[in-house]
Copies of this chain bind each other. A is one copy, B any other.
Amino acid sequence: METRIERLCVANGLRMTGPRRVIARVLSEVNGHPDVDELHRLAHRLDPRISLATVYRTVRLFEQHGILERRSLGSRRARYEMSGEHDHFHLVDQDSGQVIEFDEPETELLMRKVAARHGFELVSLKIELFGRRLGTAARAPEPAGEAAGP
């Protein structure tokens, strides 16, 4: 079955090669905010010939065509997610590294007004909240190299 990403590729006039099809499938099935390494691991499982370089090239291509969006979310590696109709924000659990997405349309509108007040047209925005679950005693923030901070 053809994924939504594949359809977007065709709509953007991109050549549908084997590796791109596999990476599109992986992107459609994974949830969360995978980094390139994770995408490569998953794609490699479906087709061991797929190289890391191709995954890098493909996510960059997809990003340039507005199919994917790149986030940092406090981690060193870039992380990707499918583009949606409107921006959404991310709340990062500093203890577990878990990322929660949420919509906040009023805030997006507010930010647009703030930009306008400074004489700017808003093109995009990133809102990342870093926090700790309520009722959790403060502890060492990152046991392993997974969680992320500001």
Q: Interface size on A (CB < 8 Å)?
A: 35
CA distance A111 to B108 in the complex (A): 12
In the complex, the count of this chain's copies comes to 2
Take A118-B100, A150-B69 as given contacts and tell me if A110 and B107 are in contact as well, using a CB distance cutoff of 8 Å: yes
Complex: chain B residue closest to A71, CB-CB: B150
Q: Quick check: which of A30-38, A40-48, A125-133 contacts chain B, the rest being far away?
A: A125-133
A interface secondary structure, majority:
strand
A interface with B by C-beta (< 8 Å)? 69-70, 72, 89, 91, 93-94, 100, 102, 104, 107, 110-111, 114-116, 118-134, 149-150
- Shortest beta-carbon contacts, A-B, top 6: A120-B131, A124-B150, A126-B128, A125-B129, A122-B131, A124-B130
27 contacts between A and B (CB under 8 A): A69-B150, A70-B150, A89-B114, A91-B114, A91-B115, A93-B120, A94-B123, A102-B114, A102-B118, A107-B110, A107-B111, A115-B129, A115-B131, A116-B134, A119-B133, A119-B134, A120-B133, A121-B134, A122-B131, A123-B130, A123-B150, A124-B130, A124-B149, A125-B128, A125-B150, A126-B127, A126-B128
